[in-house]
Structure formats: C-alpha cells, structure tokens
Amino acid sequence: MDSLQTTHPDWNRHVLFVDRPDSSRHSDEATQPNNLYEPCWVDELPLPNKNAFLFRYGIMELNTAAKPYMFSQLRKKGYQRIIYIDPDILVLDRLVDVERLLDEGAAAVVTPHLTAPLNDDFAPSELEIMRAGSFNLGFLALGNQAESDAFIQWWEQKLEFGAVSDPSRGLFTDQKWVDLAPGMFGKFAILRDPGYNIAYWNLAHRNVTEINGRYFANGKPIRFFHFSGFDPLNPKPFSKHQNRFNLDTIGDAKKLALIYAEKVKNQGLVEARKCRYAFGEFSDGTPIPNALRVLYREDSEVRFQAGENPFEGASFFIHGESGDMPVILRAVWIEHAHLQKAFPNPLSTHRLAYYQWFTDHGAVEIGIPEIYVDPIRRALKSLAAEPNIVTLPPNYKASIWARGLVFLHKRATGGKISHARMNQYQQVNHAVDFLKLGYRQFRTSRWSRYLGLQRIEIHAPDPLKSASSQDLPTTYIPAKRNRQHQTKFSGLYFEEHQPAWWVGKQARFMIDQVSTPVCRIRGIHHGALCQQISGSDHLTLSIGFDDLTKQQIVVNDNEFDIELTLDQLPNKWPAILYLTPSLSFVPKQLGLNEDTRELSLQIRELQIGGQTIFNPSSQRESRQLAIPGINIIGYAKSEHGVGQSLRQFAQAVDAAQVPHVIIDFNRNNLSRTEDQSLDKRLVTDVEHGINVFHINADQMPEAEMQLPSHFFTRYNIGFWHWELPEMRIEHRAGFNQLDEVWVPTAFVQESIAKHSPVPVIRMPHAINFSISNKAHRAEFGLPEGKFLFLIMYDFSSYQDRKNPQAGLDAFEKAFGSGNDKAMLVIKTQNAQHHPEDMRILQTRLGHRHDIIWINETLSRQQVYDLQYVCDALISLHRAEGYGLGPAEAMFLGKPVIATNWSGNTEFMRQDNSLLVNYKLVKIENDIGVYQAGQTWAEADSNHAADLMQQLVSDPLLYEKISNAASRTMREEFSPAVIGKRIEDRLLYIQENMMKH
C-alpha cells in the first residue's frame, strides 16, 4: 500500500483482512482506518452461508475465494473502476496502460503468466503453469462495463465452492476459472507489456536492468513486480514455488528483491508472522487441520453433522465418524495420496496398520495436533482387542525382485523407504513387473516428454469409494455408512442399546415435512453437572428450524418431558431442526472419567406434529424390520464339517430372526448325506438378495458351473474354512463370483485375506445343541468307571493334519498299556475311502484293550451323545481351521487337551482349556491339498501326557476347566450372540455395499 500511495496518490485504497479483528492478533495501527488505506474485514462481505464458506477453505484458498465478493462490496460503494493487487506486489511506477485500457472500454484487464515458451527442464513447466491458469490473478482490473458486472456475479458463484487448490482436478483457487472469462464475457484486455506483473514464472523472458535507480524489463519501465513465494527473511531461493532461479541468477532483479525485503521487514513482518489466524481454529481454540476442510467440502453428510456453524463442531471432528472410520483418519487419507498407496484398504486389511501408523508417528509427520490422536489411540485398543474385519499391516514380504529394488533404493538414497514406495516395490514379483514399473516411472519423468511419452495424471483417486489403482490390490472399499441415525440426524452420540443418547453442543434433525408445530422433547438433564459448570442447575434449550427464529425453553427437571408450539414452520421442505443447549461439558475436564467428548444432555424422544423424529428404541425396531433376507447354499444334508457349519449358521440366523431359505448343494462330497434336520426348510431357488455359500474355496468353481447362473446375480458371500497359513493359488478361483468372504476364525481370516480381492470378515460358528435320553456309555459299548479320553476325526480331512498318532503317543506315555484308570476312545468316519490310512491305524492299535475304536458315521445327535459320555477330548492336530470337536466338547463342559496353534485358539484359552506346547515345522512333502513348504505345528506329546495325567488325578482342575469351557461357549458363541453379528453385517451390506 505504501508503494501504491507513492505511485497513485489519487486512488482510494482498501485492504481486505481475511481474518477477524482481535488485539491479540493485530495491532490497532494496521487494522484501523488510516491515511494509507481503509480496512475491511471478511465478515463484512456478503458471503453466502458465511460460516460454511469460511470453514471450507484453507488460508490461501479463502483469500482468493473472497475476491469477487470484495469487488461486489466496492461496487456497491459506487466505485466504477476497481483494481486488485496481491499483498506481495511492489508498485514501482504508475499503471498507465491499465488506466488507458479501462478508458478505452475494457471490461477487465488481465496479465498472462507466460508470453513465450519455456525451453528448459526446470519448474514450473508449461504444463504446471497451465494447471495453475493462463492468467495471474495477483492482478485484476475491472471497468464499468456490463460485462464487468456479469463477470463478478459469475465469479462469485464459482468461488462459493470452487476456489480449491487441486490442479489434478483442473482447479486452482480463483485463478483457473478466469481462463474461461475472456471467451464468455468479452472485452477482456490481455496486457502483455513486460513491465507488468514480473515474477518467477516469466522472469526467463524478462531481462531486468537498473538504470539510475529506475528498473526496466526488456527496456520497458517496470510498473510492478510480484514477489510470489519470496521470503524476505530468507531471500536466497527467490521463490519457493520454483527451481529455475536463485537470488544470484536474476541479475538486477536481485537489488529490487532486497529493497522489497527491507521494506516488508520494516513494516513489522516478524511480528505479523506471530499472529494467530482466526479461521485456523475452532471456537474452543482447537486447531483445524486442512484435511478436515477438504472432507467438509467434499462430503454432504459431514457438513450436515458439523452443524450450521462448523467452527462450533470441534467435538464432531475429534470424536465423530465418517465413512466407517474416525473423521480425522478419513480426512487425512483423502488428502494424502501417499497414504492411499501405503494403506489402500483402510476399512479392511490395512485398518489396524493405518491406525497404528497415525498414533505412532503419522500424526506428527503430517502436522495433526495431539487432541485428534487420543481418540484414535482408544479406538486402536478396541480394534486390536476384537478385530472384526481383518486388519493386517502392509505386507512387506517380497520377491527377490522386490528385495533387489529395496536394496538399490536404500543404496541410492541412504534413506528409509516410505510406506507408499515399499507398497509399490512389493508388487514386483518377476521381470515383467519390474519392466512395467520402470516404464511407469519413466513416463513421469521430464525425459519422456521429448519422446512424446510423458504421462499426465488428471484424476485424483475417489477416496473410500472404489478399489485402489492398478498398482494396488482391488479390494472393494465401501464409501461410507448410510445408517438411518446418521442421515436423519446428527450431533448426537450413538449409544447402542441405550434408551437415551447424548447431545453434543448442538443436535440437528433432517425432517421431511410436518403439518403442525407442536413439539415434544423427552430426555435426561444433569443438573448437578450444570451447577458445577455454571453455578446454576438448569440450562436453556434453543429450538427451531433453519434460519427461523429459535424458541428458548428452560430445562430444570432431571427426567424432563417438555411440550411447546413452535412459532414458525419452514416454507420449504425438507428442513433442518436445530436443538442447541446453552452449555456443555467435557467429562475428563470435570474429573469424571477419560471421556473427552463435549456433552450437554440426553434425548429419549423428539416428536413434532405427532411424528416421532428420534427415539433410540424405534431406531432398533426399524433396524430389525429392515434386516435383509439371505439364501443359505451348501451341504445342508452332509454329515461332515462344512455341512455342520451350514447347520450351525442356520441356528444363528434363526436366533436373529433373519429371513432366509436353504438350498442343498452336494457335489464332490464323499461324506454321508443323511442329516434330515433341515429337510422341511429346503427350497430349490433363491428368494433373497444376498447369498451365503457354505462351500469352500476349492469347490466354488464347481458351484459356479453347476448352479443356475441367476443365483450369482446377487450379493455373494463365501463362508470358507482353511487349515494352513497360506491359501493355495488354485483355490483363488473361488473368489470369482464373490463380493466378500466370511471365515470362522482369525487364523483363517489372516490366511485368506493375504490374497483376497474382497473383504474378509470374521464370523465365528454358533454352538448350541442338546443331549438325548440315549446318552449312556452302554449305548456305545463303553465301560463304566473309567476316565474316557476321546479322539475324533474324519479320514477325509487327512489323518496327517488331524495327527491322531500324537494323541496315541501321549496316551501311551501317560498311562502305558496296562493301566486301570483311563481308556482312549477313537471315533472316525469315512475310513473306507482311505484304506491305506485305515490299515496304519489298525496296525497301530494291535491288541490294545484300553483303546476302543468306533469307525462309523454317526448322526449329529449320536456325536453329541458320545462327547457327553466321555470325560475329555484330545486334539493334537497339526492345523485346524476351526476345531468343531473341541468347541462342542467345551460346550458340554468337557476339558479339551489340544495343540495351542491355529483356528482352535479362537475360543481355547489358558483359563478354559489345557493347551499343548508345539513347534512349527515345514511340511516336507505334498499331503493331499497341503503343499510342501507350508508350515504347521508339531504338538509336544510329552507335555500332552503330563496334562492327561493331571486331568485324571486332579478333580479340582477338572472342575475349573470344565466350568470355564462351558461358560465361554455358552456366553460368547451362542446362536443369539453370533446371530447378532450376522445381523449387523447384513445390515451393513444392505445399507452400504449393495447400493454401489
């Protein structure tokens, strides 16, 4: 302004402060009217929906977005000609050409970034300049033409939402839009004179010289110099936005830069930099990371939940959720492309790793304040304790090609490899991958431009709405939750199974339409807390629609039930009803607990015009009515593990009252198929929109060929089992028709998720059955008065994996061949299909009288009864995907001695079982579907023998394990508990995934 006053003392000068007046931020001298300029605050401008406007933009974006509104403001003051210049401009001479062009009838005068080509490899390139815009809007002059006013109005409309800095989407603040203006409005004069708007982008074409204290560019007087990106306290780089020049390579422009630097420092630069930015924090002083602004402007649901004044919404942004993840985590993921590469599946396979990265060091790396990190730490503890969707860290186990790239990278850079780069390298598994990666990298280089091969990235990823790019796994990621309680109201904290939900600083309710203004509110008021906060035991509740006058009601009673008639109803529907308490509190600050949410009161019910707008109980009821139906497809009659898996699943969905039909599929199955428990419920065609296939991965291609094609037009879920840490490559064809996979244990989940292109969900089996009146030892030819150990397995499940020989070894070590205390019962089936394995077992048993072998297929009821009449179960398996026998025995209160590895550890723990030590070994040769090179466990038979002896000799130990085992299975794995998990997932699928 000082330089402008010198060159144009006849012009009126105005300064727009994109801030709020506050003595703690600004000196009175700078912000009060003075002879140099007249100040104007951004709050004085006619901004549409002002709070939302101010919140959605970062500091640079907001400064540019406000420009057209300042033009309008000055136009209303009667100014016919208005000239804008950036605050980092030094005016050296009168702008005579601008005045002349306006005199000649120009609607606007603009200056181009470039007036000649750039023929070097420095930045910014022509492409980068093009992304920023053809004209530099650090200067803009508008005349008094009709086209000028039409442009201002159009520009205002565009910058209400479009002043973002996102060149990849074709947007760069206010500037890029003006590329369209000369063609749309006409009378735009393009001023190419080299003396105007000299800056780093055009200095290559403008030779600056100093003659007798005056400065010239290409022989023309310099009218103004634009010091964009220049730091007066560190002038050497000249501009942070480029690498073409430094202070020593710009000729006489160096003198001008140093003069400018001194002028700015003398005007109080150092002090000014210490000032706080009003719109950089919430009303409570919490800093606002830019990522939250991006999410706010991109997501309408977030805007709704943030309320009419997002600066009052700190609690939501710190504690709330968006897209099924904490708001801050989704916002950061959206803003940072390297996180999208490092954690491509933040809702499933990389959830835990992403949370861990953020809390360990990520928040610090990207400048997220600590107040946002604490809630994520608490969420991480919960997530790690009970994972639902598999949450594996990025898999950095790589091929020899990838390891070579890592070695070369570290040798070349000497630095740590980023998550994104490591993720990229781990995709390289052979020479073709290596060449593809090299070609992609080459296409992003400057050298490729000379060959016409340069790749130009135009589109940013669509965050949380699709699979990741071609270099990443294609796991489906749901966009966001669309639950009723989120779309119809916000500002309340979801409290599952609670009759009243906490309100934060403001609650908002989206209402389609009501005919009468009678409003009823029921809830809970915490008068004692109000007394502690404000000295009064009551609060005032403000309630009303949109911008209409709000009514005030005083809440005194602990259990309140208030009815009032609103003064006004909106003219347009739907409308938002605002409910704003006069005060709120943070439990942690009051010493109540560790809760850092901002709370006020609790709401039980809200009614308007006789309609129930909110009621937690009705939310649950409507949710129950909306449960989607499913088609359960699989081995419904088969008497083997996968068939029993289906029947247990049917028990759970029965308990949850999930509508369903059952379709029998029985291909490539050697087991007996005489289970008739579901016969009356079998149908032959699908009836619902979701399929659950209880058919393992290896048989899914067979099901795809045999079942009618219309079966697969639904949302398809595979319920799978697998027993080893790595899934077979040929089994991956099973993913072909599936939208997601469910598995019974975390062990199977980890095995499959490593290779899955779809979400892998842990869904345990439900265990529940009863014992018949035939449950006596005599029914099975078993002796009374003996402690009976039971080993059960199916020969079709591979004897090497079930490892009954280890159980036999342990029994022999514990009791020898002539003991009179214990006996061993071995129950097998399908031996006839495996004659060699049967012969080995027969030879092993020989003439043992303390071992009883039952080799027949029993009904499920007979299996239950057999388990009941025995005293304990032995399972020294090498690997289990689940462990149905141990689970059923525990349900009956029978102690289980089992290998402490693989799927059975889902429900077997030190307090409810007798877990056997083991060592992991490599499989030496292929054994059926179990390939050589994989890993499984070798149980310690000596340890197992000790445990067997303890169990027989210590009745107190037996009773302790028995009670704990039964309690675990009945409380944690009942049909009701598992059914609720199934119901929750089905609702999530219906409300999110099936809409995409």
Residues 864-921: tens digit of each pLDDT: 999 999 999 999 999 999 999 999 999 999 999 999 999 999 999 999 999 999 999 9
Burial of 57 (0-12, 13-18, 19+ CB in 10 A): buried
pLDDT at 711 > cutoff 80: yes
Return the pLDDT at 168: 75
Q: What is the pLDDT of residues 442-456, one digit of tens each?
A: 544 444 444 444 443
Q: What is the CATH number of the domain that holds 611?
A: 2.60.120
Tokens encoding 625: 């009515």
Same structural domain, 604 and 634: no
**Mean pLDDT, range 490-515, rounded to an integer:** 83
Q: What is the CATH number of the domain that holds 698?
A: 3.40.50.11930
Tell me if 306 is assigned to some domain: no
Which of 27-31, 342-346, 504-508, 832-836 has the lowest average pLDDT? Answer: 27-31
Return the pLDDT at 848: 83
Q: Where are the beta strands (DSSP E) in 143-179?
A: 165-166, 171-172
Tell me if 355 is assigned to some domain: no
Q: Which of 575, 602, 624 is the last residue of a domain?
A: 624
Amino acid, single-letter form, for residue 143:
G
- At a CB cut-off of 8 Å and minimum separation 6, what does 229 contact? 200, 238, 239, 240, 241, 242
pLDDT at 651 > cutoff 80: yes
Return the pLDDT at 342: 78
Same structural domain, 676 and 714: yes
Which of 86-95, 355-364, 388-397, 929-938 has the lowest average pLDDT? Answer: 388-397
Tell me if 348 is assigned to some domain: no
pLDDT at 225 > cutoff 70: yes
**Mean pLDDT, range 39-68, rounded to an integer:** 94
- At a CB cut-off of 8 Å and minimum separation 6, what does 507 contact? 489, 490, 491, 492, 578, 579, 580, 603
Same structural domain, 735 and 862: no
Same structural domain, 604 and 663: no
Q: Which of 225, 246, 272 is the last residue of a domain?
A: 272
Return the pLDDT at 32: 59
Which of 455-459, 621-625, 852-856 has the lowest average pLDDT? Answer: 455-459
Same structural domain, 630 and 619: no
Return the pLDDT at 835: 87
Tell me if 993 is assigned to some domain: no
Q: What is the mean pLDDT of the chain?
A: 86
Return the pLDDT at 406: 64
Q: By C-alpha distance, which of 601, 611, 599 is closest to 520?
A: 611
Tell me if 899 is assigned to some domain: yes
Return the pLDDT at 413: 54
Instruction: For the sheet with 108-112, list strands across it.
Output: 82-85, 135-142, 108-112, 188-190
pLDDT at 71 > cutoff 70: yes
CB 67, CB 174: distance < 8 Å: yes
Return the pLDDT at 351: 84
More confident residue, 344 or 519: 519
pLDDT at 387 > cutoff 80: no
Same structural domain, 744 and 813: no
pLDDT at 77 > cutoff 80: yes
Give residue for tokens 């489906």. Answer: 476
Return the pLDDT at 966: 97
Q: What is the pLDDT of residues 80-139, one digit of tens each?
A: 999 999 999 999 999 999 999 999 999 999 999 999 999 998 999 999 999 999 999 999
Q: How confident is the model at residue 628 (pLDDT cuts 50, 70, 90)?
A: confident
CA dihedral 654, 656, 661, 666 (to 10 degrees): -70
Return the pLDDT at 180: 95
- At a CB cut-off of 8 Å and minimum separation 6, what does 743 contact? 719, 720, 721, 722, 749, 752, 760, 761, 762, 763, 881
- Can you give the length of the chain in residues? 996
Same structural domain, 723 and 785: no
More confident residue, 799 or 78: 78
Q: How confident is the model at residue 480 (pLDDT cuts 50, 70, 90)?
A: very low
| HEC sequence for 592-603 | CCCCCCCECCEE
Q: What is the pLDDT of residues 145-181, one digit of tens each?
A: 999 999 999 999 999 999 998 887 888 899 999 999 9
More confident residue, 464 or 9: 9
Using DSSP, state whether 195 is helix, strand or coil.
coil
Percent of the chain with pLDDT over 90: 60
More confident residue, 33 or 287: 287
Return the pLDDT at 620: 47
Please give the tally of structural domains in the chain: 5
Q: By C-alpha distance, which of 506, 583, 578, 504 is closest to 538?
A: 583
Using DSSP, state whether 70 is helix, strand or coil.
helix
pLDDT at 467 > cutoff 80: no
The answer to whether the peptide bond before residue 574 is cis (omega within 30 degrees of 0) is yes
CB 108, CB 187: distance < 8 Å: yes
Return the pLDDT at 458: 33
Same structural domain, 756 and 811: no
Return the pLDDT at 471: 28
pLDDT at 268 > cutoff 60: yes
Which of 445-459, 686-700, 791-805 has the lowest average pLDDT? Answer: 445-459
Residue 767 CA to residue 907 CA, distance in Å, equals 11
Q: Which of 738, 762, 786 is the last residue of a domain?
A: 762
Residue 10 CA to residue 4 CA, distance in Å, equals 10
Cross-strand partners of 660: 630
Q: What is the pLDDT of residues 315-364, one digit of tens each?
A: 889 988 876 789 999 999 988 877 887 788 787 778 888 999 999 888 88
Q: How confident is the model at residue 289 (pLDDT cuts 50, 70, 90)?
A: very high
Tell me if 359 is assigned to some domain: no
- At a CB cut-off of 8 Å and minimum separation 6, what does 709 contact? none
Percent of the chain with pLDDT over 70: 87
Return the pLDDT at 399: 60
Q: How confident is the model at residue 400 (pLDDT cuts 50, 70, 90)?
A: low
Cross-strand partners of 364: none
Tell me if 370 is assigned to some domain: no
Return the pLDDT at 797: 67
Same structural domain, 707 and 586: no
Q: How confident is the model at residue 386 (pLDDT cuts 50, 70, 90)?
A: low
pLDDT at 720 > cutoff 70: yes
Tell me if 448 is assigned to some domain: no
pTM, full prediction: 0.53
pLDDT at 403 > cutoff 80: no
Task: Please tell me what DSSP assigns to residue 643.
Answer: H
Return the pLDDT at 424: 57
Using DSSP, state whether 65 is helix, strand or coil.
helix
Q: How confident is the model at residue 475 (pLDDT cuts 50, 70, 90)?
A: very low
Q: What is the pLDDT of residues 8-47, one digit of tens each?
A: 999 999 999 999 987 445 555 555 556 889 999 999 999 9
226's enclosing H/E stretch is strand 224-226
Residue 167 CA to residue 132 CA, distance in Å, equals 7
Same structural domain, 117 and 256: yes
Same structural domain, 726 and 784: no
Same structural domain, 582 and 647: no
Q: By C-alpha distance, which of 707, 620, 693, 628 is closest to 660?
A: 628
Residue 627 CA to residue 55 CA, distance in Å, equals 38
The range of the structural domain enclosing residue 437 comes to 400-443
- Cα 877 from chain centre: 38
